[in-house]
A and B are shown apart, each in its own frame.
Chain A
Amino acid sequence: MIHTTGLARRFHSGRQTVHAVRGVDIDVAPGEVVGLLGPNGAGKSTTLRMLTTLLAPTAGSATVAGYDIRTDPLAVRRRIGSIGQGNGSFDGLRTREELQAQGRFYGLDRHTARRRADELLQRLQLSGQADRDVAKLSGGQRRRLDVAMGLIHRPPLLFLDEPSAGLDPHSRSNLWEHVTGMRAEHGTTIVMTTHYLEEVDAAAQRVIIIDHGRIIAEGTPDQLKSKVSGDLVTVELADPGDRSAAATIAAGIPTAHEVAPGRDAVSFRVSHGDTVTPEIVRALDAAGIRLRGTQVQRPTLDDVFLSLTGRSLREDHG
């Protein structure tokens, strides 16, 4: 569905040249759901803009939905749906009108545009808002209208750029329900970027991690997490004075590493954290060290990014 080789884009601002994307090779198979992950400014959105023909690449090539983005952008546009970061609807128009207009922009005749608009409004629970000015919609409703606009021509490939940014958790899960529902029904290929790691984790079959305009890792969420060696086990100490003793005991456990004594806790990474926890609790108990509690954390995609770059994804966008 997507094939790129050495796709790159640089910008000139004043005398500086910014290499936003430095040659990425991406392959996406039909029906796949792929998440692009990376901090702000990593080049995710620039990559999407090139793939959706909004921005010409400065190097490399890409075919999207079977057509070259450079030589046949029109054919690409006909076959993709794209939901950008902003709100595509514009104040002053009514919900149904905006959706119908979008259908007309895709070359649908008046009748078909109207029929599909009504279908989508119903599916996305916007029927009650069909005749309201889009300015009066809530954030979640407006975002669902954006999704509807991206789907009006039934594209086989859908791009979502930060689809749930700025939405409350309820609207977010509602939005994803709709997107995954569409996918289940039509087998739509989806490429998305998001800041919410849980969303990528839940929705994406494959994750491409981008940093400084390059792909630094890719794989299924589980494959990526297995690169982080082991679970994070934390034992919270009743007496902070015990921390060096506790750290020594933790270090003695097979496969334990990255032992880090904190102020009143000791954490370490270890494979199979679940089975190790009772073990360390017994060992600490035997040494007369009292505990307040224990925690086991499976690696997150943020841990993956941290282990790859030494930086947290969350640092960049609080």
Chain B
Amino acid sequence: MSLLTDTGAVFVRDTRSKLRTPWPYMESMADPLLLLMLFGPLVAALGGIPGIPAGNTMQWFVPGMLVLMVFTTSAFIGAGFQEERGSGALERMLVTPVNRFALLAGRVLRVVVVVVIQAAVVALATVPFGLRLPPIATPLALLQLAVLAAALGTVSLAVGLALKSSYAFWGVVSLVYTPIVVTSGALLPMELAPGWLFAISRVNPLAHAVEGQRALFAADVTSTAALLGFAVPLLFGLVGAVLGTQSMRRVRV
């Protein structure tokens, strides 16, 4: 009971503070659309690459863009913690009886809501360019993106709590950013990758999300890829939730 109401209270506060400056969300929606316009034609022009089904490039390309958008919206929210910690805002919450997991969950919930809206907007915007939206699979794809956002957000918050300075946080981000984006297979299929690179992509939750999204947008609801697209981010998020709640209990402000 208190977990739900506490999560709600954190969610409301977090949403109010962030949505008054909505520009970052607009920007992160522009990103996939720009990639679609600028990089999409290049992929289409390559033609007949292993991993990309012939014919409709959009159906293959858009799912990857959605995953990248979820990544930029949700994976960096942990950066806010250093500032809140330095200012005293986190301390003021920690002296209240508010549930420690709710302090994470409320923030994650905000990102999940934002991501679902963004994904719906981007998917609808690409329909005129040839994206098909399969009836049952599309809501499932949105749900999968929500799970991914929750997982990435939770892990990001856990990392943000563990690192004491925002320099350290952005340092970690710039280290992992390129490997994560490249091995996600969002831009070019991982089927092209040499064995070692493909192996790396297997431990990248984003790669499983991209493959899951592609399966769902191909209306392949019961495939292993669709299932892994749910399972891997979920597992990743659970680890983040446990570690994050622990460090929230121990955090020194």
Contacts and interface: CB of A to CB of B under 8 A. Distances in A.
Contacts of A90: 17, 84, 87, 89
B230 to A, nearest CB: 32
B97 interface: yes
Given A93-B13, A105-B6, A80 B95 contact: yes
B94 to A, nearest CB: 6
Interface in A60-111: 74, 77-78, 80, 82, 84-93, 97-98, 101-102, 104-107
A86 B96 contact: no
B178 interface: no
Contact of B97 (A85, A87, A107): A107
A76 B43 CA distance: 60
Given A87-B87, A105-B9, A106-B97, A93 B17 contact: yes
B223 interface: no
Interface string B1-44: 01001101110110011101100000000000000000000000
A284 B5 CA distance: 77
Interface residues of B, number: 28
Contact of A53 (B9, B21, B95): B95
A78 B89 contact: no
B171 interface: no
Given A93-B17, A105-B6, A54 B88 contact: no
A54 B2 contact: no
Contact of A149 (B84, B86, B92, B253): B92
Given A93-B16, A101-B12, A101-B13, A77 B95 contact: yes
B93 interface: yes
A234 interface: no
Contacts of B87: 86-87, 90
Contacts of B18: 92
Best-surrounded residue of B21, B91, B95 (most CB of chain A within 10 A)? B95
Contacts of A82: 92, 95
B96 A55 contact: no
A146 interface: yes
Given A78-B97, A86-B86, A87-B87, A107 B92 contact: no
Nearest to B19: A92
A105 B98 contact: yes
Interface string A192-223: 00000000000000000000000000000000
A52 interface: yes
B202 interface: no
Contacts of B94: 54
Contacts of A93: 13, 16-17
A301 to B, nearest CB: 27
Contacts of A77: 95-97
Given A78-B97, A90-B84, A104 B92 contact: no
A80 B95 CA distance: 8
Contacts of B16: 92-93, 97
A55 B95 contact: no
Interface residues of A, number: 29
A97 to B, nearest CB: 6
B158 to A, nearest CB: 19
A54 B17 contact: no
Contact of A84 (B5, B17, B92): B92
Contacts of A87: 87-89
A283 to B, nearest CB: 57
A88 B96 contact: no
B9 A104 contact: yes
A177 B100 CA distance: 34
Contacts of A84: 88, 91-92, 95, 253
A166 to B, nearest CB: 12
A88 B97 contact: no
Contact of B21 (A92, A101, A105, A146): A92
Interface string B220-253: 0000000000000000000000000000000011
A92 B20 contact: yes
A91 B8 CA distance: 20
A86 B98 CA distance: 19
A107 B89 contact: no
Contacts of B9: 101, 104-105
7 contacts: A54-B94, A55-B252, A88-B88, A92-B16, A93-B16, A97-B13, A146-B92
Given A101-B12, A106-B98, A146-B88, 15 more contacts: A54-B94, A80-B95, A82-B92, A86-B86, A86-B87, A88-B88, A88-B89, A91-B17, A93-B17, A97-B13, A101-B9, A104-B9, A105-B10, A106-B96, A107-B97
Interface of B: 2, 5-6, 8-10, 12-13, 16-18, 20-21, 84, 86-89, 91-98, 252-253
Interface of A: 52-55, 74, 77-78, 80, 82, 84-93, 97-98, 101-102, 104-107, 146, 149
Of all A-B residue pairs in the complex, the 5 with the closest CB atoms, nearest first, are A86-B88, A88-B92, A104-B9, A92-B17, A105-B96
